Structure 1
Amino acid sequence: MKMRWTWAGIALLIWMGVLPGAAGASSYELSATAKTSFAKMKAAADAPLAAKLGAQYDELGALQKQAEQWDAQIKALHDRNDAAAADVRKLVSRIDADKIAKLDAQVKQAKERYKPLFANYAALNDKISAVRPLKNKELNALLKLQASTMKVSVQLARDEIRVKEAALKAAKASASAGAKKVRTALAETDPLKTRIQSEKSAASAAKKSFAAVWKTFNAAVKKQDAKGASDSLATLLTLARQTNDAKAKQHGLEQKIAETIAKSKSLLA
């Protein structure tokens, strides 16, 4: 017998993941027989209860549609947040990178430029030490004069290198402090992520409970127990609302994460 699916029935089955071929498909599918039994049970019930059954079933489908919308919005926002956070981390790693690279190059260039001077000065001092035992006053005096004259240039060179190294060190310290400030701000998303996991757990728990109640609902339909079916639907609605409430909170937390990431990025300006 070919099944004819109502929108509410399809939405409900999608929510339960029980449509043929659906991810996580299980045995909680409304069969054609069960759908016929539900319609028969509703037709046999008094008008108020029949209307209630129809309204409950339709609301369950609407809540599923809302759940799907929440899922789509949460995923989109979560993906944007992940990309934005990655962008901030990338920018953090490049704080004052050009400035630091320039200063580092200046230090290296200065050291390279003065390398011959330092080498000659060291060689001259070695020569002074080598000839000292010879007790040649004139040679010692000449070498010491040369060393004294060169010492001024060496000291100036060392001072220049020291200044450049200090500038490089200061730039690195400033970049490190700036990076730490941004990372600290970005870390404020961690407790929000923990709360999201709690809401996911709440939604998962509600879905598991839904599975058990769904069986009770099916049993009531099979027995043509309209009151029992309505009671089960009432519980299913409560669980569906709990699920959507948890998803709404997840979305709200993702929004807070987005705000926190934007705040951390503003510190890079």
Structure 2
Amino acid sequence: MKQNLLKTLLLPLLLMVGTIPIFTLASPYPARAASLQLDSMVQFRLEAALSTADSSFRIKMNELYNKLEQLQTQETDWEAKIMSLQQQNAAAIHEIRTRLKELDQVKVEKLETQARQTRLRYQPLLTLYSTLNQQAKAARTKGNKELAKKLASQAADLQLAVQLARKDIKLKEHALQAARAAKARSVAAIRKLLSEADAVTIQIKQSRTLITATKKSLSAEWKSFNQTIKNKDNTGINKSLTTLNTQSQQIVGQRQQLFQLEQKKSSIIAKAMILLAA
């Protein structure tokens, strides 16, 4: 079962975080729409607005527009990678939390059964030994030396067997205690890693908030850009395209940072899964 956990969840995470080299990083999830819809109609309207501008200016504006298209493509690609890794992280975290409740449960229960059965098996011997000693003591108290000697002799005959029985019981109990302690240490270590992953999740939320704010500014600038096209305002077009490129580059950078945070989370999760499967 533990080997299956490594194969089904740990290997994909190691691939995503770069522990195992891969040639491509393709997402199984469809890419989300870009922040801006740069369709053929927008480009047609831009070219119409620039029809009276000199060729060098048109070339510059086309370069800015093409760069903006590239940035939008990069944004969707990064978001697809982020979503893919985020899905894997969420599935892995759920699996870890589920399996954590069952960690070493079978092993501990087996040792508990062994310890209980060992105590039960030796209980008649220990009871007899204790009873003989008590009876010998009582006989001595009453002055019945002959009976006391006989009972003490019977107890002495059992002494070696009793010592071995107590040793066996002690070994079983120590094994159980060691297993419980090991489980407690593993659970504590895994929970510590899960806490670290939760801390990264907070950073991820903060990063997404930052992206949302930048996209809001981008959306406002996009409206301004469309208005400059409508007004055939070449200066405004230049300014808006430059700003759109700057903001889009910021978003791409922010998404790269977001992906790195998801990778960081994956690395933490991978450590937890290794401990869980150990």
TM normalised by structure 1 equals: 0.69
Q: Does 1:241 align with 2:260?
A: no
Matched residue SS, 1:112: helix
- What amino acid maps onto 1:161 in structure 2? I
Q: Which letter does structure 1 place at the counterpart of 2:82? A: I
Give the distance between the partners of 1:30 and 1:175, measured in 2 at CA: 58
Contact 1:63 1:240 in 2 (8 A): yes
TM-score by length of 2: 0.67
Q: Report if aligned partners of 2:108, 2:180 keep a CA contact under 8 Å in 1.
A: yes
- Cα distance change on mapping 1:31 and 1:88 into 2, 3 Å: closer
Q: CA deviation at 1:241?
A: 0.8
**Residues 178-217 of structure 1 correspond to what in structure 2 (within 5 A)?**
178-217=186-225
**Matching residue's letter, 2:208:** K
Instruction: List runs of 5+ in structure 1 lacking aligned partners.
Output: 1-13, 20-28, 129-135
2:34 aligned to which of 15, 25, 32: 15
CA RMSD of aligned residues (A): 4.1
Residue in 2 that maps onto 1:23: none
State how far apart, in whole Å, the 2-side matches of 1:153 and 1:90 are: 45
Q: Tell me, yes or no, if structure 1 residue 232 matches structure 2 residue 240.
A: yes
Determine whether 1:99 maps to 2:94.
no
Q: Percent identity, aligned pairs only?
A: 34
Which residue number in structure 1 is paired with residue 141 of structure 2? none
CA drift of 1:240 comes to 0.8
Correspondence for 2:17: none
- Higher deviation after alignment, 92-101 or 232-241: 92-101
Cα deviation, residue 55, structure 1: 1.9
Cα shift at 1:138: 10
Q: Which residue of 2 aligns with 1:46?
A: 54
The match for 2:85 is 77
Q: CA deviation at 1:205?
A: 0.7
After TM superposition, list the pairs within 5 Å mapping 1:1-269 onto structure 2: 14-16=33-35, 37-89=45-97, 92-93=100-101, 95-114=103-122, 160-267=168-275, 269=278
SS at match of 1:238: helix
Q: Secondary structure at the match of 1:43?
A: coil
Counterpart Cα distance in 2 of 1:114 and 1:237? 82
Specify the structure having the higher radius of gyration (Cα).
1
Tell me the alpha carbon deviations over residues 148-198 of structure 1, each in whole angstroms, 9 at most, x when there is no partner: 988997786566434422321122102211332343345333333332222
* 1:108 to partner: Cα distance: 1.9
Greater RCO structure (CA 8 Å; 6+ sep): 2
Counterpart-to-counterpart distance in 2, 1:144 and 1:217: 105
- Deviations 1:64-83, CA, capped at 9 Å, x for gaps: 11111101111122223333
Q: How many residues align?
A: 246
Task: State the distance in 2 between where 1:43 and 1:224 align.
Answer: 9
Q: 1:30-81 deviations in whole A, cap 9, x for unaligned? A: 896x765433211112222222222222222211111111011111222233
Whether the aligned pair in 2 keeps the contact of 1:37 and 1:224 (CA below 8 Å) is: no
